Structure 1
Amino acid sequence: MKKLIVIAALCGALSACASKSDTIAASYVSSSLYMNLSCQQLAEEARSVSSRAAAAAGVQDKKAGQDAAVTAVGIVLFWPALFFTKGDGASAAEVARLKGEMQAIEDASRKKGCGLKFQKS
């Protein structure tokens, strides 16, 4: 019975770990928000969103690394450390939103014939 409780606690802690930024799905953002922009304005918006997305991804990946380290310590040395994993939160939502904006800008660019594309990592 004790093993079952420990296994259940470990599974719960592991599921609470923050996700890496590249595994977070994009949130839907309508391309109609960008349809009134010129190709030059779309390019400027693309640079801005890309920069913010890179910063948000860095924050999210740092959280994921910290959660992985805490989980490793918790499993190997001290199980109460598992309660200190943070999981996904506002930074993951920000990454998802910015990914959605990038897709919307690409869609608007394609519809307007601008040819903007974000580099996929």
Structure 2
Amino acid sequence: MKPVVILLAAVALAGCASRASDINASYVSPLTYQNLTCSQLQEEAARVSNRAAIAVGAQNERATRDAVATGVSIVLFWPALFFVRGDGPQAAELARLKGEMDAIEQASIAKNCGIRFEREPPPAAPAPVARDA
């Protein structure tokens, strides 16, 4: 019975949606933005940033729903695995938006516009545990 539970857990976790911070940027050429002025780049940065914030929220919500469905399926009711959806169009859109943010920053650097996006900080390392000698 234990190997079956482990197998179900592995299959379910493989299909779970990724957290937004785990999705890598797709490549977007900075040439797309080379003809824009600094003010136009600023407007585009605000637009992309707003859409990315919405996409991050949606992706994290999807990841949370998948994690809950996986937990329920492993512990209580295996048909709940059918509610695990994994990454989909939302993840692809988020990857594209992250790529656009990178491209806008590169165009901004080339033009000395000073546009920078705040990124999610990397996960903190666990604090060291003090042990008595």
TM bucket by the smaller chain? over 0.9
Give how far 1:5 is off. Answer: 4.0
Runs of 4+ aligned structure 1 residues displaced above 3 Å come to 2-6
1:75 aligned onto 2:69: no
Q: Does the CA-based 8 Å contact 2:18-2:60 persist in structure 1?
A: yes
**Comparing 23-32 with 5-14, which one deviates more in the overlay?**
5-14
Matches within 5 A, 1:1-121: 3-121=2-120
- Report the Cα distance in structure 1 between the residues aligned to 2:47 and 2:117, rounded to whole angstroms: 12
Q: CA RMSD in A?
A: 1.1
Structure 2 gap ranges (5+): 121-133
Equivalent residue pairs, number: 120
CA distance in 2, matches of 1:4, 1:29: 44
Larger Rg: 1 or 2?
2
User: Which protein is richer in helix relative to its size?
Assistant: 1
| 1:13 and 1:83 in contact (8 A); partners too | no
Identity %: 57
Normalised by the length of structure 1, the TM-score is: 0.94
